[in-house]
Amino acid sequence: MSSWLLAQCVVEQLQQAGVRHVVLAPGSRNAPLSMALHRVQEVGAQEIGAQGIELHVRIDERSAAFLALGMARALEQPVAVVTTSGTAVANLAPAVMEANEASVPLVVLSADRPLTAMNSGASQTGHQFGLFAGQVRHQVQLTSDATPKAWRFQLRVALALATGQRTRRPGPVQVNLHLDEPLMPTEEGLDAPRPWQVEPSRPAAPVSLEAGPRTVVLAGDARPAVGQRAAQLAHEAGVPLLAEPSSNARVGQAISTYRLLLGKPDLGGQIEQVVVFGHPTLSRPVTRLLRRSDVEVVVVADDARWPDPGFTASRVVDDVELAPASDPSWLNRWLTADLDMQTRLQLAQRPEAGRDPRPTGLAVASLVVERTAGQVLVLGSSNPIRDADLARVPDALFGPQATPTTVFANRGLAGIDGVTSTAAGIALALDRPTTCLLGDLTFLHDAGGLWLGALERRPTLRLVVLDDRGGSIFHTLEQGAPEHEASFEKVFGTPHRTDLAALGAAHGWQSATVDDLAELGQRLRVPVRGPELLVVPVTRDDRRAWAERIAAF
């Protein structure tokens, strides 16, 4: 056998599993995989197999991994990322950890040196198998001296576990490939594989629940189908829908200011039952609700694992049917309070004498949410997604004919790394115009994601960066209290002087700085046509006072 045969076998099994996209970070040891993947794209599916693969090349492994993560998240299908040996593999760790917590089918194909070279001090030879222990659904190492039958079996198991076909728990897997020389293609070819199929496990029938007068549906970060199911259930039962911005349930009569209303004794304080969809982790009021001992928590889980941050869940089900609420005033009270809270938020943002003229993060987020209604929106962590959490549900998302906004966010571990690359992956995979709202530190953290090779397909992606010259979310946390002011700016505020628009322009993005809401609104009305960057200067000086002010509404 040979490394070239093994590489062909890997590509063959990716095709049979329906993998449509592979992201490659170039190197020497992964040369057989690189050549086999390029052959598929250039020669076509007719010669190699039944399924074509689009190859995307990125020079930075961390960006490559998040690009693949975004694609896999958007398509809900496995996407592979290929690296060479050595430290290259370690750069995948953040994306692998996010994929683990968010149940995203990310396939790591890590090239490695021959097993006989281990511990020898040979160049780029380290212990990379097991590097993601505890973060992957499965890990296997393949050697070039085995047989195609053995390779095919191991690859099929890994791909089935990545998709969760039998476990109903998709997630990342690592296939570590020990490749020996020669690394270039030879005349060797594989025999035709036997057909194979893995039957997926099936969810159980819906469980019927009574919708008491004080039931709410809570939708956390979720896939579009899950979010739509949560919205449908709340609508049919006539109960309040508390939907996080990345829940894909924020439509119709969703309560946009729910996190402020949860602290009201006559609303949040009276909740008796919560039906949970997705992964709710965004705000502390929601966490406090799920920790209450006087609330019954029913979790609707679409895979083998379920969220229960308060350790209070009494039931875990595949799906539910909720009887109509017996008291319509319960929903009406929430809707009325939501309208009142929205009015207060709008009045609080009116310009005042002596106030910083720059727009607030909430104003920018509200405008972005409004202008992207029914489109594809990616939300960065920290304040942007929390500002979007208070944005009013756009009028375009009301009614039975409304097209929901497809919203994504890296909420598995809620990190700020890899957001630009994730958004680019989503835009490329869906082949739809995509807008990403993110903060300046999040943008800088993935500056490598701006790189687009001259031979690469360019994402139809618009980045809207809230630039407050530092980390504004820390102003709203304990370390932002006045007594910690002396140390705050150095170790939490982390101010910078980077010209973000110039950084984008240097990478070939159409870039502009926009300091006026009216101009931003006009730019957002123009369809996204390619890589575009809009930097919006905002202030963070009064961020803590603003958070305290709205909490007191």
Question: Rounded CA gap, 301 and 320, in Å?
Answer: 10
Question: Rounded CA gap, 355 and 542, in Å?
Answer: 10
Three-state DSSP class for 234?
A: helix
Q: Average pLDDT of 87-95? A: 96
Are 106 and 99 in contact by the 8 Å Cβ rule? The answer is yes
Distance of alpha carbon 94 from its chain centroid, rounded?
A: 12
Three-state DSSP class for 143?
A: strand
Q: Where are the domains of the chain?
A: 3-178, 207-335, 349-551
pLDDT in tens, 506-533: 999 999 999 999 999 999 999 999 999 9
Task: Tell me 1's DSSP state.
Answer: -
Residue reference for tokens 């931003």 = 520
Higher pLDDT, 200 or 75: 75
Which residues have a Cβ under 8 Å from the Cβ of 443 and sit 6 or more positions away? 380, 419, 420, 463, 465, 500
Calculate the average pLDDT of the chain: 91
- Are 3-178 and 349-551 equal in CATH topology? yes
Question: Rounded CA gap, 256 and 261, in Å?
Answer: 10
Percentage of the residues of the chain whose pLDDT score is greater than 70: 96
pLDDT in tens, 167-208: 999 999 999 999 988 888 887 778 888 777 788 888 888 889
pLDDT at 48: 40
What class has domain 3-178?
alpha beta
Strand 461-467 versus strand 54-57 pairing type: unpaired
Q: How many CB atoms lie within 10 A of CB 40?
A: 23
This prediction has a pTM of: 0.94
Strand order in the sheet with 241-243: 241-243, 215-219, 273-277, 296-300, 313-317
Domain at 207-335: CATH code: 3.40.50.1220
The pair of three-digit structure tokens given for residue 111, joined into one six-digit string:
């090239």
Are 299 and 308 in contact by the 8 Å Cβ rule? The answer is yes
Phi and psi, residue 81, nearest 5°: -125, 130
Q: How confident is the model at residue 47 (pLDDT cuts 50, 70, 90)?
A: very low
The pair of three-digit structure tokens given for residue 414, joined into one six-digit string:
């809620």
Instruction: Name the helix (H) or strand (E) containing 41.
Output: helix 31-43
pLDDT in tens, 445-464: 999 999 999 999 999 999 99
Q: Average pLDDT of 160-171? A: 94
Higher pLDDT, 505 or 472: 505
The pair of three-digit structure tokens given for residue 58, joined into one six-digit string:
């990125």
CATH of 349-551, one of 1.20.140.10, 3.40.50.620, 3.40.50.970, 2.40.50.140: 3.40.50.970
Of 91-100, 288-297, 377-386, 482-491, the range with the lowest mean pLDDT is: 482-491
